[in-house]
Every structure is written in C-alpha cells, then in structure tokens.
Chain A
C-alpha cells in the first residue's frame, strides 16, 4: 500500500529522505501515482499519466542510492509536465483535438534537464488549448478543477500543472507563461509559480504560442522547491537561439539572505484598477507590511503605461500565435479531414475542425491585426506600447529592487462563469502581462485565503532581468513571514 503522506513532503526533503535511505524513489513514485489514482478523476489535472516512465526514473535513482552515488538535486521528486512540452514516450496534445494523437518525437530541453536532475515524470498536465486561456476550460479534453473548490477553475493556461501540485499529485511541475499562464493559476491554486526572465529557460520542444513572450517555469509548494527546479532547467541551450548565455546564479544560496534594506516598490495604480477585489488589494498591503516589518525599504511606484499592456498583449500574442499555428496544416502531423478535395480544402477544414473556439478566435484576431491596412494601427502601435512599458519598468527598477503587485484581480472563479465572455477572461491576466511584454521575471507567492470563500490569493513579485536570485530571496522572506498553510480541503479529507 503506497504511503500517500510522502506527497506532503517538499522536493528538498524528499531528495534528502531518499539519500538517507528512509524511503526509496520507487515508494515515492508509487505514492504519487496513488494520489493521482485517488484524486484525478475529480480534478482532471492530467491528460496522460506515465507510470512506466515514473517507475523507470525511480529505478535509476534507487540504483544510484544502492551504489552510493551522489544524487542529483531533484532525485526522486514527482513532477508534472504541461502537455505542450515534448517528452519521448508521451503524446504532446496541447489539449487540442488537432494534436490528440501526436506522439513526441524528441524531448523538450527543459523537460530533459528536469529528468537529468532526477525528477520522476508522473504525467502530462491539462491546459487551455495551445495555452489560450486563463481557466483551463478551453481544453478539448474537459476542464481541470481547482482542488480548493471543484466547482471552480484552477486558472490557466497551465491549470493542470497548478492543480497537480496543489492536490499533491506532483511535488513540482512545469508550466509555460506567455501572459500569466504560470503565475495566475499559481495564485488561484495557492502554489508558488515562477515565470523566469525571457531567455532564461530554453523553449526548445515547447509548442510555440507567442515566441517573443513564451517562457517555461516551475510550480511548487515552497519557494525553495521552485528555486530548485529553475536551477535545474535554466541556462543556455544551443537548440534555442533566444536562450541567453548568462550565468545561472545559485538561487538556493540567496534564499536565506533576508530583505533588510531591500527596496520594495508597491505598484499602487495597479491596486486602483477597476475589478481588483478588495481582499486581493488587502493581501498586497499585508505583504507590503510584512516586508516593512522584515526591514525592507517599502515605497510606492506607479506604472501608468502598464494599463495598456492588456491591449498590446491581445495584439502581439494573437499576431505571433496566428503565425506559429500556421504549421498545423493537416499535412505533416495532426488531424486531417478524411475527404479533402484539394490541398487548400484539406488545410482549411482540418484546421477549422481541429482547433477549438478560443484558438480560432485568437488566430482570427492575430491575422486581422497583421492584415493589410491594420498592421500599423494595431501591431505597430502595440510594439511601441511595449517599448514604453519596458522603459517604465526600467525607471522603476532604478528606485526599487523588486516590485509588488497582485497576481490576478480575483480569486478562482466558477467554471462557466467567464466562458462566454472572452474579455472578462482576458482581464484575469492584467497584472501578469506587463512582465511578459518587458521580459522580466516574476513569481506568484500565496499571500492569504479569502475570508469569504476560503480560496487562495497570490501576490506577484517582479525583479530585474536575470535577477531571479533577488526575486526568490524576497519571495522566501515573505513566505516565511506569512507562514501560511496552503493545503486544500480536498487533500485534507482524503
């Protein structure tokens, strides 16, 4: 009988317990698979569970233990992988009908690095189709449910990766973040969620959404675990020319440095935005006070251009997506209509039948924004807005070391609540989008539970390009000061 209580341990503790032979990697893999068996019928965090891959990886770790070898940093740590990252031996579906049967033919660099660090791949996590969405309702295979309240969304698009960690079916997971797709579900599920600096992690093997914005990053239940995962996956990759050849700092060494004297800027005009829930605002203020109590130098800053980020993003994101998704043509891979008359008919009907509603909406929006007569008015204008947003951040980072904002304006909403209103859904990412446009790193840290609903609230900490160390340091200090228990009721009950 598998011991599912192992799934309450952090990645750092699991590895140490395996190294000390208190538990085997196989027992940890079995615990994770048992937790999936117990909960995933209700949560639906996974599109595909991979017991064979997990047990094989565990066996490798247990052989290393038996041989007395040094263990890698994530040895025996159960990991979920968003279903837009290729992993040999799994399908990579992007939660789309058009890729429903697509078998990975190579492994994504970030996933390979995670496995090289000793992680056990538990499965491929559900997502909004092609990462278009903020609720994981846009999956062709059905929504993921929030472990805190099964009637609510886990956020998105990396909702499966977030829910898997929140429900203790994986200890850590990988997501991808184009406009908030890691941080927003992190906030809504009470997990720690990181979007690294653009270029910090290779995108090779990640199915592209918007190539100038996409970045892979971790989910975990502690800041330390998130730092361990980023440490493992970060760094230059010859297979991704946009990955940056910048030394990877020792994130773990930075965690205990404290925040005395650290300059923390509270972004006040973001708190004033219409639609920001009172309790979300209160959580940011509570976090700011915690920083001040720890000796940080807390001040206020405004980022007025960032309010135009949402418009810029809903031009740039769909524009890049419409181009990236041109590869789904029904010819080389993916769904093909059986009765095409000619190549054009084959392409047009395979795409229309294979793509879901939101994917079609984004491709249409992007194609429109790039089309003759509208390019300058939309795409050109959005790119210039991006310049001003970057400039505004650069000025803010002259005065502050980190910036503090909400992660998302609301707690997790009900399944179906925003499904028919694309604009309302898009507003979910209003605080996360500016960092993608500027290429900056950001982390969502649990900052409280809503008094009325008991649902998690997250705050976002942003740092300078490639200064994830300071971001983690501030996040670890906040986590320690708040001392929250982020165990969902579902996990307590089972």
Chain B
C-alpha cells in the first residue's frame, strides 16, 4: 500500500491574526494587573504587606551578593518604574501599529518581569497571573520564530492546550469533591467576604437545590470546555460563550476581574486550534 503524506498548508494571515488577538487581550490583562499594582504601590512601602524588606527573606540568594542590585528594582521607587514600564509594554502589545521589533521587546519584558515579580513575592497573586505568564512567555517564543509558521502554530497550540487543561483540571478537581457535587462549596464560597458576595449568599443560603445546580453546572461546564477543540461549530461557539460568561460572572460576584482578560486572551488561540472554528474551517 502506498504511503501518502498530507501536507498541511498553514494560512499565515490567519495565524498572525490569532497571535495578534492573543497579544491584544493578554496585553490588556497585563496592563490592568500593572496599573492595579501602581494604584496600590503604598503596599510596597517599608512595613507594608508587600515591602521588599520582608519579601527578600524568602530566598537566600535575595539577601546575598545580589541584594543591592535587586533592591534597586524590587524596592520603591524601582518597583514603580518596573510596573510603569510594564504598562507601556502592555500598551505596545495592544497597539496594532507598533513594529514587530517593539512588540518582541514588549512581550519579552512582560514575560520576564512576570517571573521576576512572582519570584519577589507570590503573595497577592492568583491564577490569572499564571495564565498571563504562560501566554506572555509563549508569545515571546512565537516572536523568536517569526518566520517559522510551524513553530508559531506550536505556540498557539500550547496556549490553547494549557487553557483547556486548566478548565478540565478545575472541573475534575470539583467532580471528586463531595462539597462541590452537593453545592455546599458554592454557598460557602459566596458567604466569604474575600471571594463571595452578600446578595449571592443571601440568595443561596436557604436554597440548597439552586446551590447544587450551580455547583454541578460549574463542574459540567469546566469539564466539557476542552471539547471546544473538537466540537461542531455551534457547540464550540456555545462553549466559548459559556466560558466568557463564567469569567464575567466571577468578576462581578467574586471580584476576580483579572481572570477575565487573562483567560479571554487564550481564546483566540483556542479558536485557531479548534477543528470547527479555526485553521481554514470555513473553506470546505
């Protein structure tokens, strides 16, 4: 039997469009995160919760020979300059008129400083910034392979796969949890001031059926989300819509605003990799 190889032709324009959309949304996420850091930069003062004086005690190497150099960047005012430059880099990434060289520098700086800021202190961070780290690092790698469509395709697949994995794992981790299956987790998260909401809690506290339905819908939605890569077009679109609404709801009721941009930033990569929505799916 003759062996035939199918040569996949990569549509460069479609690939570039997907990467530009990832850049724009991820850049917006990085901008919001950095502006929030700047708005609360009092927290970096000596004796405050994110002061360099205590943060540097986490690792021995931070108080060794590098201490003075690190203090220039990680203590005030250096840390404010770092975040100010992040805002500019994020704006560059969002600017469709910016040159590729400028965007490469911006993505590299944002990815590098994302690692640096979280090495400085993991406190106050959350999963949205992990997503940003993944997207920004992968965008940087994609720019190093500007003339290699296969490499850039791998970058888009990596962002899409990590995003789908995150929904899938979150769903499975809830499925094995009795408190998620019976809905008490939903009610009890909403009772906290940290991640909850007064009105949502008052609506749920005496309605266990509603809480259970919400818990089970969350499990189902998160577990089904990875099917976006293989589902037919209407289902794939619905899954993306449900995902986006889920993050919008979490922003309103749980105060998780940064998750919206970080996760939506992965959606163009998911659309590109989806069998029904991307990679020339409309062409027959």
The answer to whether A and B assemble together is no
Give the interface of A toward B (CB within 8 A): none
